[in-house]
Amino acid sequence: MRLIDRSDTSLAIALVASALVIFQRPLRLLLDAAHLIELRYDIDLLPGLCVLVGTFVFHEYTKRQHARAAATAASREAALAQARSTELERLVTFGRALGSALDTSAARQVFWRFMPGFAGDRAFWMLTRRHDGWDSPVYDATRLERWTVDALEATAVRALSGMAANSGREVDGIVIDGDFCVPLVVGEHAVGVLGVRNHPPMAESERSALGAAAALLAIAIRNAQLIAQTRESSVRDGLTGCFNRAYALEALKAEIQRARRTRRPLSVLMFDVDEFKAINDRHGHLAGDAVLAAIGARLASMLRATDVKCRYGGDEFIVILPDTVLSGAEHVASTLLDTLSTLRVSVGATVLSTTISIGVTMLQPGETEPSTVIGRADAALYRAKRSGRNQFATVELAAAG
């Protein structure tokens, strides 16, 4: 602690003046003695003492300045070390949170929770890519009120274009329309763009920290996408694009539970291709595969997104219709009959047409097992076949459509 600082200059002057007054007689005696020594020995004692005192004072002043500069540098270095430690801790915490995010939705939530620590008091946003465009953006609409989704997507496209233009060079980010944009890239895959409003301008250390956070975020999003693709492949039938049998049973069980909980209707269709074995025998299994693939594509285009389309096995399909009463399911069955009867599949020089038979059923009160519902739909399907094919039937009504 300093006894006297810059604000006490007048006090210091007063102390010096008082000391001179108090010690003026001893000082005078000392100076007289020095003068006598100079006369006796013919030397310049006082000038030498003045030089010595001046040199000593200057030396001490220089040492003090150096010590002060060293202390300032040490303090600055300590502050930088503390900032780096805080930044590293923030990155580690961010990385751990992202490590538990196994889908893009969870990764977006982690981004929303942690990004204010990297952006400071600046507005920020993120767009992630999918195969056919962009996912909905993550941004604070109250702070980016002038931005539209189209404007954010245009900025993201420009950021990725800038990255492509700088291919082969290290690029941390690019400023576009006042936003510091960092492409989210893993290897050769661009999974999105992160943007932070560059006002006030970001310091180099802030850009570096944001770049590190963006790298962690990109890896997490890419991993989530790969997990989703792997899961999708595991539950999809590669030939028809419909869900497979295992997923059909899982989805039907979940829909039964939901229907019982919400007391909403649930219907199920089961159908197969009429004379499918004859198609394989006459035209080969590749022709049969082409027919099944065409049916899968037609189902995807004509049914609701909430309807679950599944290949149950061979040429058998199941369609789960949530929130659909029996009459509605019969209407869907009738539409399927009309649509698939017009389906034409070219196999070499041969054009194949086909029909289907459909069993229709609805979840009954008290039912909890998928096998019960599927068994009833299967029975209705074979009733339709016995009645002449190319039609639908229900177990409850025991009648063809």
pLDDT in tens, 343-367: 999 988 889 999 999 999 999 999 9
Q: Cα 252 to the chain's mean position, in Å?
A: 31
Q: What is the DSSP string of 102-128?
A: -SHHHHHHHHHHHHHHHHTTS-EEEEE
Which is it for the CA torsion 80, 81, 83, 88, positive or negative? positive
Tell me: the pLDDT tens digits for 167-220?
544 457 889 988 999 999 998 889 999 999 998 999 888 898 999 999 999 999
Q: What number is the average pLDDT over the span 305-331?
A: 95
Q: What is the mean pLDDT of residues 239-257?
A: 95
Residue 315 annotated as catalytic = yes
Cα–Cα distance for residue pair 385/160, rounded to 1 Å? 56
Give CA separation, 120 vs 78, 86, 140, 209, in Å. Answer: 22, 14, 14, 11
Residue 250 clears pLDDT 50, i.e. is over it: yes
Write down the pLDDT at residue 166. Answer: 60
pLDDT band at 243 (very low <50, low <70, confident <90, very high): very high
6: pLDDT strictly greater than 80:
no
Question: What's the CA dihedral at 115, 118, 124, 127 to 10 degrees?
Answer: -60
- Token match 């929130």: residue? 323
pTM value surpassing 0.95: no
Q: Are strands 124-130 and 138-139 parallel, antiparallel or unpaired?
A: antiparallel
pLDDT band at 12 (very low <50, low <70, confident <90, very high): confident
Instruction: Return d(Cα 304, Cα 39) in angstroms, integer.
Output: 119
Q: Do the beta carbons of residue 352 and residue 297 sit within 8 Å? A: no
Digit-coded pLDDT (tens) for 293-314: 999 999 999 999 899 999 999 9
Helix (H/G/I), strand (E/B), else coil: 309: strand
| pLDDT (mean) for 328-341 | 95
| Interatomic CA distance for residues 59 and 101, integer angstroms | 63
Determine the pLDDT at residue 2: 58
User: Comparing 71-80, 204-213, 331-340, which segment has the lowest mean pLDDT?
Assistant: 71-80
Average pLDDT of the residues in 234-239? 90
Please identify which of the residues 315, 323, 338, 378 carries the catalytic annotation.
315
Q: How far is CA 13 from CA 2, 7, 10, 21, 335, in A?
A: 17, 12, 5, 12, 104
pLDDT at position 4 is 58
Give the separation between CA 393 and CA 401, rounded to whole angstroms.
6
Look at residue 83 and tell me whether its pLDDT is greater than 80.
Answer: no
Q: What is the mean pLDDT of the chain?
A: 87
